[in-house]
Amino acid sequence: MERLYLISFGEIALKGENRPFFERMLTQRIKQVIMPYDKNVQLKNVHGRIYCFTQAPKEKVAEALKKVFGIVYICPAVSCENNIEDIKNTALEVIKEQDYYGKTFKVETRRPNKSFPLKSPEVNAQVGAYILSNIEGLKVNVHDPDIRLDIEIREKTFIYSEKIPGPGGLPIGCTGKAISLLSGGIDSPVATYMIMKRGVEIEPIYFHSFPFTTDRAKEKVIDLCKVLAGYSGKIRLHVVNFTEALKEIGKNTPEEFLTIMMRRMMVRVADKIAEERGAKALVTGESLGQVASQTMEAIAATNEVASMPIFRPLIGFDKIEIMDIARKIGTYDISIEPYADCCSVFVPKHPKIRPAICEVHKAEEDIDVEKLVSMCIEGIEIFDVTP
């Protein structure tokens, strides 16, 4: 009897000729997260499964793998030889490891290895009967059991009773790199998570405006990056000193256009950094209609100054849905800490909600855009953030 983890991936299995590339990326990431607990971890790709052999503590393995994009679920399993007596005895041992007294169970067999002489229902019946004859206080319920015992008959037989959900998606880095405009709020960390889930490597940018916003606001964003790095591995955070740019925009722009001008400047700076860092897209946490700067017209005004696509993973989400994801991924409690960033501090009383692009151009006439972008780029702080 050998212990291992069966790791299943969903979407990757549909990748045709590119599947080996995605599997290799996933395997590398799994190894990366397990090695801090076991340098001798061994992985094996076999017919739509990754077998993970490790001596690391189960809780550490489960916690690490639950955050690996590309994994659909993880099953702590034991393996045995393909004969019915071994299967029955191993299944009995797996059940005995459960808190089984007074509970119900069922046996569910899959038989990818068609050379095995018994069919799946016959295995279910024989194993179920053997367990009932050897354990008191356990009953069968095939519709809604407390314990489901899964048996997979492959080149060996694998038996497990626990399925730990993974995040799904695609392995990090397999679809390229993007720059995420990250604030201390609820939305942008969720947007960053959502795009990482699609296999995108992220380098976030935070626009810092000390003394209008405190250093604690910057630390809050670093804390958010630590949570996100739990899913992606090390994250390189770019902190842009935005204070002087903000002063210039505030001095030379009609107040009602302040938010739009600020967003356009942020996108220009992000676009420049993306180009320097080899990124192919920008990511924002905008949700259509949520605030004045997220109307179609305002979004069009920010799109205009970008040279590359801007991805908005939350565009169709409402606030409740976004908060639910934030709680699930662990960013919510940090995001609601009371340290505001410049996007929430510099909000005009009567913002322009549906700006015509000609009005935006006119409002921007007195700003030296190139000078401000260069100033922002020169003062960047870099933080390499780990979980």
Query: Binding site membership for ATP: which residues?
Result: 181-182, 206-207, 263, 285, 294
Q: How many whole angstroms separate alpha carbon 91 and alpha carbon 131? A: 8
Q: How many whole angstroms separate alpha carbon 192 and alpha carbon 314? A: 10
* CA-to-CA dists, residue 240 to 116, 161, 205, 374, angstroms: 63, 49, 7, 11
Exposed, middle or buried: residue 7 (CB in 10 Å: 0-12, 13-18, 19+)? buried
Q: How many whole angstroms separate alpha carbon 203 and alpha carbon 147? A: 43
Exposed e or buried b for every residue in 285-320, given b needs 16+ CB within 10 A? bbbeebbbbbbeebbebbeebbeeebbbbbbebeee
Strands 71-80 and 49-53: unpaired
Is the Cβ–Cβ distance between 52 and 43 less than 8 Å?
yes
The amino acid at residue 331 is T
Nearest 5°: phi and psi at 289? 80, 0
Nearest 5°: phi and psi at 5? -120, 125
Q: How many whole angstroms separate alpha carbon 313 and alpha carbon 321? A: 12
Peptide bond into 211 cis (omega under 30): yes
* CA-to-CA dists, residue 33 to 15, 256, 331, 362, angstroms: 24, 48, 20, 52
Q: How far is CA 327 from the centre of its chain?
A: 13
Tokens of 201: 């490597």
* CA-to-CA dists, residue 181 to 192, 271, 310, angstroms: 8, 10, 10
Nearest to 69 by CA among 241, 212, 201, 244: 201
The amino acid at residue 24 is R
